[in-house]
């Protein structure tokens, strides 16, 4: 009768609690019965099943509930296992626990000051579930009790307290203190059991403590939004490692004390579950090996089961999205693991490791994610689906099967994952393949809205997706199956398609996609107003719409995103969340409005403080988006200020989750790299060291800094060469990777930056060395992120494109052949940039024939269908430049004629010659120096003027064009001064409407040279006026006179032929002023050519004593500078009397001046003669630059 009453009491208690969905109250109520006695019963599984759905939605949860039988001393404990597919396995076991009864009997007579009556324990435990302070007080009392002084009743008190903390963890999963209290109690209980035979620790209690940790750890795992917001790999939080440490501690205690049970498979599974959430597949594998080892050593309760393997499979699935470096590798391991499960099942026949539909669906999902990196995994995903169908069909009774694999009937999750796989693959027929899978789902009646939504993502354009959506609506209406009617999720998927279309485009569509998204949103509102409740826009729909505006990148995209945010705030039912604010911030960042991005962040912080809502609580994602806004506009101080604000809010305002992460640090680093801060790279290196201190650095951090080193014009940073710094950073990355930091592993992008750095500094051997190292690392490690690609090879080839050596050109072509040998690899296919680099290498090595041959091959490949080989004006320009350097105007003209003929052919419209091409051709004419060449140059200029009048501005004459034309006139050998004046006048006219047409020092220097050759009597006056105009703005380096300009002025003065004394005097004074100015200006160094022109001018414009004084003074300056050469010596001997020359040169009176050379004079007079030669060489090179306006075609 007593037991019957007890059962009724429990049943009534369970019924009431079921209405409240509160299992904790069930257990507490069961403990309080019949005068404080505990009644044993099995809690209804239907009741227990509801709890995990409430407390831990979307995740796997372990639930163990025990009701103790005080009267009989027997504990009947149902063990409930809840997996992530909401399936339960009920394993009822009778656990002998007489110690509970004994403990309660001893408690009644105990005089120990720490012992209490069972009734008071149960009552206090029940209250503590609802009163954290009381629970905390009980916990503190147990922890402070001296070891060895507790009585047997403490076992139950420890147990119920640990259970109560577990209940608190479910209600408040983010609270670290809850876990700490539970852990301290568990450790204290095990310590007590070691010395106190009255204390026994069962596995259910230990697992409850472990699950308290697991609940906390999974809350800190990356969310789906965080996974997609960056390509970097998140670092596991420190709390993740606590679980494994607890597990090892429990093992140690159980080995030392027989009253402490050994961890079982569920204990290990809980730790593995946390590893899986963080994508820690390697650590999960190590845990599996440990379980197998313990099982072999005589602990069968540790043997892995299907749930263990499924958890490990999910770890590989999460590793693909969280650690994209090895996406294909993790998918392959998942498939190998599934085969291993099948093998174990076939060998042992044990259903404990039999793969189920969860196993297969998890592997299919892993392949779907890996299809983004390698399209072949889409076919693998479909093959696995077909294997499931084959195994299921073979098990059907009607097919003669034994029902072995009836549980493998593919569900909608499997089908949807295959559809996602084809969507991620990006192959040409992805939509067709996905449609076939969807059609099969429809034929079996498995098609639902989620699978239809997945199918929308496979379509290559929005028009196809819209057509599919309309077809879905029609199908649902005709069939009467309203469950397949598109809902808000489906419409949201269509809006996402618009966002994806923008992500694949390199240029903005001007807001077309965003306006279309708004139209779809309004359609949803209209349908909802008509009574279709399923299409009511949700917060996710708003976020998707805002995301489209974010990716639009137009000037008003940020304001439009903010408008929809305000609409959400005005809606009483839909509340913006952290993802909403982060997307609006990103929208302002993309349109370059960092200030408004920060305003949205401040608004979010204000709302969170006023409303106290966790859904819009500022987090790392929002701060990193705002930091990135300042990074885009190159404002590092503001970016760093926001990161410091995060730390302040965490330490002073209690925002524990606001701790700068890799995304925030990387944003600040990018801000410095894009800025104009003088010591930006030094600051980046310090930030990297700070990241290492916090263990949050990633491959992105290192790669960004290496890329910054490649772009800087500085050669040394902190006394170290930039190449050496990049090398050390790469070596550090590999060391950290070897120490277990997978997130810091170098990628192909990292190597491309290193190669690019050495390519820009013309260190061909280093560039090629690191390319070969990348190939070696990829073969060794087989990580997808290390796969050498076309970008890496092109970076290496760019270093050879600037060489002038035939051997280097041959090396460049050998690298091209290496790429062609691996042309089956889609990531390593030569393109137009590849061949253009090789063409440039041959062109610069004075082999235009080979350069043109490669260009012809390139054009033929494009005409045969290889679109990646489409020639560009850069390709033709490199060959044209080679023929121009060779002075072969006929072949150069043929190249331009060929381009002009191609621009009318379909597919070659972009081959129309531009100003760069015509400028090279004009410069080629200038090199010939003949009157006929000048006429050709003039005809080309006339053609460019016609293009300008016709509106083709790309071929309009620019300042380089006119400079090249002036150079052609200068070398023509005729009086070109009148034509040069017309060109100069045309430049001045064009400058009035186009500032880019402003004359440069190249323009005026070439004009002065033409003026020097002319017979204009007042040429020195003209030269002086030009010189003054050039000296007006010393900060304008493009206009301010240089060495060549002042030398040209001296040449003008020395070429004066007029007999007018006043003009001669003016020219003499101008020459003296010019030389004096050259000696005084810091950036000007008079050379041998300077003094030669000056002494020539003196010899023509003055005589007698004045001449000798000027020569004597100037000769001293010349010899002190050490630039005396034989040409100057000949002028002096010819111009001055013999005795003056002998005295000036410090020679004996008997010396024959006509036989004197530089070698007979003091060495220090000509010690800089080599420098003068070098200066002359530099002047020659600079003349080439002046004539062409560029040495090479800028890419």
pLDDT at 608: 86
Q: For residue 641, name the pLDDT band (cuts at 50, 70, 90).
A: very high
pLDDT at 172 over 90: no
Write the pLDDT tens digit of every residue in 211-227. Answer: 998 998 888 777 654 54
Q: What is the mean pLDDT of residues 777-796?
A: 91
Torsion of CA 232, 235, 236, 237, to 10 degrees: -120
pLDDT at 35: 30
pLDDT at 1037: 85
Alpha carbon distance 465, 498 (integer Å):
10
996, HSE (Cβ side, Cα atoms, 13 Å) = 6
Alpha carbon distance 498, 551 (integer Å):
10
Strand positions, DSSP E, 170-214:
none
pLDDT at 72 over 70: no
pLDDT at 220: 78
Q: What is the mean pLDDT of residues 493-511?
A: 75
Q: For residue 427, name the pLDDT band (cuts at 50, 70, 90).
A: confident
pLDDT at 880: 92
Q: What is the mean pLDDT of residues 377-385?
A: 93
Identify which of 98, 89, 84 has the alpha carbon closest to the alpha carbon of residue 64.
89
Q: Please, are residues 889 and 925 in contact by the beta-carbon 8 Å criterion?
A: yes
**In this structure, are strands 88-96 and 61-64 parallel, antiparallel, or unpaired?**
unpaired
Write the pLDDT tens digit of every residue in 19-52. Answer: 333 333 333 333 333 333 222 222 223 223 333 3
Torsion of CA 177, 181, 184, 190, to 10 degrees: -150
pLDDT at 111 over 60: no
- Which stretches of 571-632 are DSSP H helices? 578-590, 594-611, 620-632
Alpha carbon distance 458, 430 (integer Å):
6
pLDDT at 230 over 50: no
pLDDT at 503: 66
Q: For residue 89, name the pLDDT band (cuts at 50, 70, 90).
A: very low
Q: What is the mean pLDDT of residues 881-895?
A: 89
DSSP string, 840-898: HHHHHTT-HHHHHHHHHHHHHHHHTT-GGG---HHHHHHHHHHHHHTT-HHHHHHHHHH
Write the pLDDT tens digit of every residue in 467-492. Answer: 777 777 777 667 666 666 778 888 88
pLDDT at 125 over 50: no
Q: For residue 324, name the pLDDT band (cuts at 50, 70, 90).
A: low
pLDDT at 240 over 50: yes
pLDDT-wise least confident of 558-567, 637-646, 660-669, 800-809: 800-809
Q: For residue 798, name the pLDDT band (cuts at 50, 70, 90).
A: very high
Token output for 312: 């490990």
Alpha carbon distance 1047, 1030 (integer Å):
14
Q: For residue 1147, name the pLDDT band (cuts at 50, 70, 90).
A: confident
pLDDT at 64 over 50: no
Q: Mean pLDDT across the chain, nearest whole number?
A: 81
Write the pLDDT tens digit of every residue in 394-403. Answer: 888 777 888 8
Write the pLDDT tens digit of every residue in 573-618. Answer: 888 989 999 999 999 999 999 999 999 999 999 988 888 777 788 8
**What percentage of the chain exceeds 70 in pLDDT?**
82
pLDDT at 490: 80
Q: Please, are residues 944 and 915 in contact by the beta-carbon 8 Å criterion?
A: yes
More confident residue, 943 or 226: 943
Q: For residue 429, name the pLDDT band (cuts at 50, 70, 90).
A: confident
652: region left, alpha or beta (phi > 0 left; psi from -120 to 50 alpha): alpha
pLDDT at 219: 83
pLDDT at 327: 67
pLDDT at 504: 58
Write the pLDDT tens digit of every residue in 609-620. Answer: 888 777 788 889
Q: What is the mean pLDDT of residues 947-971?
A: 89
Alpha carbon distance 56, 173 (integer Å):
9
End-to-end CA distance of the chain: 95
pLDDT at 994: 86
Instruction: For the full predicted model, state whether its pTM sits above 0.85.
Output: no
Token output for 77: 């404990």
Q: What is the mean pLDDT of residues 46-73?
A: 31
pLDDT at 493: 80
Specify the long-range contacts of residues 1162-1166, CB closer than 8 Å, at least 24 apart. Answer: 1162/1119, 1164/1119, 1164/1122, 1165/1118, 1165/1119, 1165/1122, 1165/1124, 1166/1122, 1166/1123, 1166/1124, 1166/1125
Write the pLDDT tens digit of every residue in 915-933. Answer: 999 999 998 888 887 788 8
pLDDT at 241: 84
Write the pLDDT tens digit of every residue in 1152-1185. Answer: 888 888 888 988 898 876 544 443 443 344 444 4
3-state secondary structure of 708: helix
Task: Give the CA distances from residue 885 to residues 733, 927, 934, in Å, rounded to whole numbers and listed in that order.
Answer: 45, 8, 17
Token output for 1087: 């050379």
Cβ of 665: how many Cβ atoms within 10 Å?
24
Write the pLDDT tens digit of every residue in 266-321. Answer: 999 999 998 888 888 888 999 999 999 999 989 999 999 999 999 999 988 888 76
Q: What is the mean pLDDT of residues 113-134?
A: 46
**In this structure, are strands 74-82 and 67-68 parallel, antiparallel, or unpaired?**
antiparallel
Handedness of CA 32, 33, 38, 43 (dihedral sign): negative
pLDDT at 749 over 80: yes
- Backbone Cα Rg of the chain: 41
More confident residue, 746 or 464: 746
Q: Which residues 6+ apart lie within 8 Å of 318 measured at CB?
A: 276, 277, 278, 279, 281
């Amino acid at each position: 009768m007593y037991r019957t009453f007890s059962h009724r009491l429990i049943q009534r208690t369970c019924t009431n609690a079921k209405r409240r969905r509160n299992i904790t109250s069930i257990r507490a109520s069961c403990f309080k019965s019949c005068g404080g006695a505990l009644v044993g019963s099995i809690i209804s599984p239907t009741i227990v099943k509801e709890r995990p759905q409430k407390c831990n939605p979307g995740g796997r949860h372990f639930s163990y509930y025990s009701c103790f039988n005080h009267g009989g001393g027997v504990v009947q404990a149902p063990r409930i296992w809840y997996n992530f597919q909401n399936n339960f396995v009920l394993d009822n076991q009778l656990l002998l626990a007489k110690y509970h009864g004994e403990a309660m009997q001893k408690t009644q007579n105990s005089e120990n000051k720490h012992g209490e009556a069972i009734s008071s324990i149960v009552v206090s435990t029940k209250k503590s579930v609802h009163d954290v302070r009381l629970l905390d007080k009980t916990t503190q009392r147990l922890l402070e009790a001296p070891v060895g002084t507790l009585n047997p009743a403490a076992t139950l008190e420890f147990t119920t307290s640990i259970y109560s903390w577990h209940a608190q963890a479910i209600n408040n999963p983010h609270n670290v203190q809850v876990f700490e209290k539970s852990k301290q109690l568990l450790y204290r209980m095990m310590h007590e059991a070691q010395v106190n035979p009255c204390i026994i620790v069962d596995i259910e209690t230990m697992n409850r403590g472990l699950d308290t940790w697991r609940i906390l750890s999974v809350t800190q795992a990356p969310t789906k939004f965080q996974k997609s917001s960056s390509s970097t790999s998140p670092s596991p939080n420190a709390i993740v490692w606590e679980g494994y440490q607890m597990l090892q501690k429990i093992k140690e205690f159980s080995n030392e004390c027989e009253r402490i049970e050994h961890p079982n498979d569920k204990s290990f599974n809980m730790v593995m579950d946390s590893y899986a959430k963080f994508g820690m597949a390697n650590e999960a594998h190590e845990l599996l090996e440990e379980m197998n080892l313990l099982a072999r050593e005589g602990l069968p309760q540790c043997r892995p089961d299907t749930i263990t393997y499924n958890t490990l499979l999910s770890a590989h699935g999460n590793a693909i999205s969280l650690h994209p470096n090895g996406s294909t590798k993790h998918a392959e391991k998942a498939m190998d693991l599934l085969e291993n499960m099948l093998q174990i099942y076939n060998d042992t026949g044990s259903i404990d490791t039999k793969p189920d539909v969860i196993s297969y669906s998890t592997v299919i999902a892993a392949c779907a994610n890996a299809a983004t990196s390698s399209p072949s995994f889409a076919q693998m995903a479909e093959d696995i689906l077909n294997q499931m169908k084959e195994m299921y069909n073979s098990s059907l009774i009607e097919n003669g099967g034994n029902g072995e694999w009836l549980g493998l009937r593919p569900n909608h999750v499997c089908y949807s994952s295959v559809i996602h796989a084809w969507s991620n693959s990006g192959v040409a027929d992805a939509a067709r393949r996905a449609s076939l899978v969807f059609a099969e789902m429809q034929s079996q009646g498995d098609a639902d809205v989620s699978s239809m939504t997945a199918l929308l993502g496979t379509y290559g354009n929005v028009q196809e997706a819209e057509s599919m959506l309309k077809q879905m609506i029609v199908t649902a209406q005709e069939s009467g199956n309203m469950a397949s009617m598109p809902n808000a999720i489906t419409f949201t998927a269509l809006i996402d398609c618009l966002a994806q279309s923008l992500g694949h485009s390199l240029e903005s569509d001007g807001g077309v996609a965003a306006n279309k998204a708004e139209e779809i949103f309004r359609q949803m509102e209209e349908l909802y107003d008509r009574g279709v409740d399923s299409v009511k826009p949700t917060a996710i729909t708003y976020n998707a719409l805002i995301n489209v505006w974010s990716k639009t990148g137009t000037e008003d995209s940020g304001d439009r995103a903010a408008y929809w945010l305000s609409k959400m705030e005005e809606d009483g039912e839909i509340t913006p969340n952290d993802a909403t604010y982060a997307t609006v911030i990103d929208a302002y960042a993309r349109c370059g409005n960092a200030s408004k991005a920060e305003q949205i962040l401040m608004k979010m912080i204000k709302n969170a403080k006023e409303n106290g809502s966790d859904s819009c609580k500022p987090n790392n994602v929002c701060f990193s988006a705002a930091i990135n806004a300042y990074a885009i506009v190159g404002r590092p101080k503001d970016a760093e200020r926001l990161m410091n604000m995060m730390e302040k809010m965490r330490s002073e305002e209690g925002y524990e989750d606001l701790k700068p992460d890799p995304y925030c640090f990387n944003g600040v680093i990018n801000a410095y790299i894009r800025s104009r801060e003088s010591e930006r790279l030094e600051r980046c290196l310090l930030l990297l060291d700070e990241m290492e201190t916090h263990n949050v650095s990633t491959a992105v951090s290192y790669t960004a800094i290496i890329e910054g080193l490649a772009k800087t014009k500085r050669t040394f940073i902190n006394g170290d060469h930039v190449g050496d710094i990049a090398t050390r950073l790469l070596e550090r990355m590999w060391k950290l990777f070897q120490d277990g930091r997978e997130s810091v592993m170098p990628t192909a992008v990292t190597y491309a930056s290193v190669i690019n750095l050495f390519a820009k500094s013309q260190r061909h051997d280093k560039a090629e060395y690191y390319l070969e190292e990348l190939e070696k690392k990829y073969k060794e490690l087989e990580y997808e992120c290390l796969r050498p690609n076309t970008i890496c090879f092109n970076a290496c080839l760019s270093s050879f494109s600037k060489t002038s050596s035939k051997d280097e050109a041959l090396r460049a072509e050998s690298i091209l052949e290496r790429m062609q040998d691996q042309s089956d690899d889609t990531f390593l296919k030569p393109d137009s940039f590849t061949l253009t680099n090789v063409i440039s290498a041959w062109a610069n090595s004075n082999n235009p024939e080979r350069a043109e041959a490669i260009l012809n091959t390139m054009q033929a490949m494009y005409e045969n269908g290889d679109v990646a080989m489409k020639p560009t004006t850069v390709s033709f320009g490199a060959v044209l430049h080679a023929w121009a350097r060779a002075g072969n105007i006929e072949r150069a003209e043929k190249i331009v004629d060929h381009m002009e003929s191609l621009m009318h052919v379909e597919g070659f419209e972009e081959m129309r010659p531009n100003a760069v091409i015509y400028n090279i051709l004009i410069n080629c004419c200038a090199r010939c120096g003949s009157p006929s060449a000048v006429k050709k140059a003039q005809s080309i200029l006339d053609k460019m003027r016609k293009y300008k009048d016709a509106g083709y501005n790309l071929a309009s004459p620019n300042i380089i064009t006119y400079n090249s034309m002036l150079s052609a006139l200068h070398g023509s050998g005729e009086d070109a001064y009148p034509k040069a004046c017309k060109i100069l006048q045309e430049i001045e006219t064009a400058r009035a409407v186009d500032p880019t047409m402003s004359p440069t020092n190249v323009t005026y220097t070439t004009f002065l040279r033409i003026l020097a050759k002319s017979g204009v009597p007042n040429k020195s006056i003209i030269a002086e006026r030009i010189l003054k105009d050039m000296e007006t703005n010393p900060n304008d380096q493009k206009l301010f006179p240089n060495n060549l300009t002042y030398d040209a002025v001296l040449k003008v003065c020395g070429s004066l032929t007029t007999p007018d004394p006043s003009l001669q005097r003016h020219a003499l004074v101008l020459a003296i002023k010019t030389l004096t100015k050259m000696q005084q200006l810091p950036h000007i160094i008079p050379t041998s050519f300077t003094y030669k022109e000056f002494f020539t001018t003196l010899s023509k414009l003055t005589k007698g004593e004045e001449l000798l004084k000027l020569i004597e003074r100037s000769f001293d300056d010349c010899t002190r500078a050490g630039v005396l050469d034989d040409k100057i010596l000949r002028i002096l001997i010819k111009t001055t009397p013999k005795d003056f020359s002998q005295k000036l040169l410090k020679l004996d009176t008997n010396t024959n001046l006509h036989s004197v050379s530089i070698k007979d004079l003091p060495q220090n007079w000509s010690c800089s003669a080599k420098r003068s030669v070098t200066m002359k060489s530099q002047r020659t090179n600079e003349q080439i630059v002046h004539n062409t306006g560029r040495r090479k075609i800028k890419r």
